[in-house]
Structure 1
Amino acid sequence: MNFIKKIIPGLIMCILIAQLGLFFGKFIPSIGGAPLAIGFGLIASNTFAKSKVFAAGSKFSEGDLLSYSIVLLGGTLSFSTILELGFSGILFIVLQMALTIILSMYIGKKLGFSKHFSALMASGNAVCGSSAIGATSPVIKANDNDKGISITIVNLTGTLLMFALIPVASYLYSNSTLQTSALIGGILQSVGQVIAAGSMVNHDVLEMSTIFKIVRIVFLVVVVMWCSREFKDNDTEKEMENDAEFALESEAYAKPKKKKSLGVPWYIIGFFILCFLFSFGLIPQGISTTFKLISSKLEIIALAGIGMRINIAELIKQGPKASLYGLLVGLGQIVIAIALIKIFL
């Protein structure tokens, strides 16, 4: 009950903002309800809705509702749609992620950032933004300050790219479904940004770009394993001290040490389960249509939540150097994606 009470104010605010975005989106179809919901959310959170009372609800909308939306989306897609990516599509994703990591680490080193911070930026930009940073930070033993700044910069970069990629895709690919989806789904940092950008083009791009993004998220486990291997020799003495302390605690309490989980997010598993059921006709078309409707409603509320979570004052406070880092990585991702799309797609 306490949790529900905490999220209600922010959730109601996100629902109202989402409806406002959809309403004005009818009059400005060239922009659409999705980006308007993000924009209205950003304005609200930095003006009249600054209060912390809205924080829990906006976080719930941004995270949980978007996750449910992705799961339900699986009940509307068949494996044949996913297989449209083909080997070349998968290869594009792998190379895009690998080169993004290499680029992020290189730029971070040149700008004088720590290896830990650069690794957080690399994982966040290569995979899925805040979620990837949250998954890799304990593995590399990153401090809270690095984690907070990297999340802020990665989200800012993704938000800017969300709008920048649309004219790029229109100019280069005339909004062709496969190439445009690869550009959006292969670059943008969060699922919400991918959905928002895809919805600005058309429904086919929305679905295909989401698939590109989901395949990227599946590879999160590989990125976390890379981080674990890359930083395994760091802080050796500290780890030995921790092991010694743990040994004493084990003798006293006889509690086994928990292993770190490297699994993919639960909503990706849920997506593939419903996708499997739909592919084999175990989800009737009527229910699938309902899933699609609910998913789209949750999606627009989640996008309002994303806007509500953007703190302009915090972004300004991070300083020009960190912002430059994000901008250079973002521009590099665009160049890499365009080159790889030309080669493979």
Structure 2
Amino acid sequence: MKIKRVHLVGIALVLIVSLVAQFLSRYLPQLGAESLAMIIGIILGNTIFANARYAAGVKWSEKYPIEIGIALLGSTLTFKTLSKLGLNGIAFIIINMILVITIVFVLGKYLFKVDDNSTMLMGAGNAVCGSSAIAAVAPVIKAKDDDRRTAVATVSLTGMLLLLTLPTLSHFFFGNNDLLRGALVGGTVQSVGQVVGTAALINSNVVTFATLFKLLRVIMLVFVVLLFAYLAKRRDAKDLATTEEKAKVTILPWYIIVFAILLVINSLATLPTPVHQVSHTISTFFGIVNLAAIGLNLKWTVIKKSGVKFLSFGFLVGATQVILAIALIKIFF
């Protein structure tokens, strides 16, 4: 995690892109700072700033700040969130997440024929919280950097489509019922920022409900990481040649452990409001930094390699996720 001189120019570039995206999001709230950061990053990383001198710092920015952001996110959450949603709300989110992950695996394996790691990254990104979930799952399943970047780009683009369509769809299916509209937005849109941005296009009450539903999905991040770590360990054990290698134990990343500890502490003894505010601000900004760095690192060749197939995979998952959520909301509410 140590910053070296070779990292400085790349880190400075990522910070500038992140700040510009944050500024532009005031005028383009429909897109949000995270999506803007990734779009600007992709354009600049493949044109003006394609030089290798930025690579080390951009790669550093892609990996470490988001880990701190995920860890701090735990201090902004509490198990009391569950009680605010009621048993129906909790059941809706948990069953929806299970079905989304299952459908991602089925589509990935049988229809789109993508590898296991890409499938797990897509499952985490869509079921939990976009790029943060992908960043949390990637190291425990030993995913390649290109696979992770492609998954983040696909999930983020899907989130942008949902942002533009859900306000109209939520009104069509649920009228002016803010709770149900919040359930649809909070139960489907990928990143926290995109959830707030989508809900804000409807009204402030929907923002409140959507955020609650979304936070429950974020709380489930620990369990999703544990599940995929277990699945990856079982898969890898079949390929390992030596007894010594088989004896190695996969340990959860430090930031997932800290996330869980802070979540428990905040649930048992509520942390001071300034701690929540600072943690939320840092976590949000590091999420923007992560997408700026991913955009700068995501080259046209990688996008072309993933091609129409992977984008189709992502968009079909997004559409299925919305259909599932609408059906489950009708059942539980």
Mark yes or no: TM-score above 0.5: yes
* TM category, shorter: 0.7 to 0.9
CA distance change for structure 1 residues 199 and 106 in 2, over 3 Å: closer, same or farther?
Answer: closer
Task: Give a deviation string over 1:19-69, Cα, whole Å, max 9, x none.
Answer: 212222333344443432222222211211112332333333333222322
Q: Which runs of 5+ in 2 are unaligned?
A: 125-132, 172-177, 201-206
**TM-score, normalising length: structure 1:** 0.73
Please name the residue that 1:67 is paired with. Answer: 67
**TM-score, normalising length: structure 2:** 0.75
Please name the residue that 1:178 is paired with. Answer: 183
- Aligned alpha-carbon RMSD (Å): 3.5
Q: Which runs of 5+ in 1 are unaligned?
A: 138-143, 189-193, 247-255
Secondary structure of the corresponding residue to residue 242 of structure 2 = helix
Q: Is the Cα–Cα contact under 8 Å of residues 14 and 304 in structure 1 kept in the other structure?
A: yes
Please name the residue that 2:24 is paired with. Answer: 24
Q: CA deviation at 1:233?
A: 8.7
Task: Give a deviation string over 1:117-151, Cα, whole Å, max 9, x none.
Answer: 1x3233212223354344235xxxxxx8xx56643
Q: Is the Cα–Cα contact under 8 Å of residues 198 and 206 in structure 1 kept in the other structure?
A: yes
Please name the residue that 1:311 is paired with. Answer: 299
Q: Is the Cα–Cα contact under 8 Å of residues 31 and 194 in structure 2 kept in the other structure?
A: no
**How many equivalent residue pairs?**
309
- Determine what percentage of the aligned residue pairs are the same residue: 26
Task: Give a deviation string over 1:42-100, Cα, whole Å, max 9, x none.
Answer: 22112111123323333333332223223333333433225435544444444334434
CA distance change for structure 1 residues 120 and 313 in 2, over 3 Å: closer, same or farther?
Answer: same
2:327 pairs, out of 303, 316, 339, with 339
Please name the residue that 1:121 is paired with. Answer: 118
Give the distance between the partners of 2:55 and 2:48, measured in 1 at CA. 13
Please name the residue that 1:290 is paired with. Answer: 278
Equivalent residue runs for 1:12-161 within 5 Å: 12-111=12-111, 113=113, 117=115, 119-127=116-124, 128-129=133-134, 131-137=136-142, 147=144, 150-161=147-158
Segments ≥4 residues shifted beyond 6 Å? none
Please name the residue that 1:163 is paired with. Answer: 160
Q: CA deviation at 1:161?
A: 0.9
Secondary structure of the corresponding residue to residue 248 of structure 2 = coil
Give the distance between the partners of 1:71 and 1:105, measured in 2 at CA. 27
Q: Is the Cα–Cα contact under 8 Å of residues 225 and 262 in structure 1 kept in the other structure?
A: no
Give the distance between the partners of 1:22 and 1:315, measured in 2 at CA. 25
Give the distance between the partners of 1:29 and 1:97, measured in 2 at CA. 27
Q: Which residue type is aligned with residue 43 of structure 1?
A: I
Q: Is the Cα–Cα contact under 8 Å of residues 222 and 260 in structure 2 kept in the other structure?
A: no
Give the distance between the partners of 1:2 and 1:130, measured in 2 at CA. 19
CA distance change for structure 1 residues 227 and 92 in 2, over 3 Å: closer, same or farther?
Answer: farther
Give the distance between the partners of 1:182 and 1:324, measured in 2 at CA. 21
